[in-house]
Amino acid sequence: MSGNWGYVVAAWVIVFGGLGAYSIRTIVRGRSISKQVRPEKRRWS
């Protein structure tokens, strides 16, 4: 098991890196889409 820690760390980096990239992409896309909504149709402001 001691020789496998590199793979374990790499897997965690890939998983959390992917989740972080997906989260950032979703937030950026949501902000750009929200700018296209007319002010009177915005429910969040």
Model pLDDT for residues 5-25, shown as the tens digit of each residue: 999 999 999 999 999 999 999
DSSP of the chain, one letter per residue?
-GGGHHHHHHHHHHHHHHHHHHHHHHHHHHHHHHTTS-GGG-S--
Q: What is the dihedral of CA 1, 20, 22, 43, to 10 degrees?
A: 140
Q: Which residue has the higher pLDDT, 3 or 27?
A: 27
Confidence (pTM): 0.72
The pair phi, psi for residue 44, each rounded to 5°, is: -95, 0
**pLDDT averaged over the chain?**
93
Q: What is the band of 42 on the pLDDT scale with cuts at 50, 70, 90? A: confident
Give pLDDT, residue 22: 99
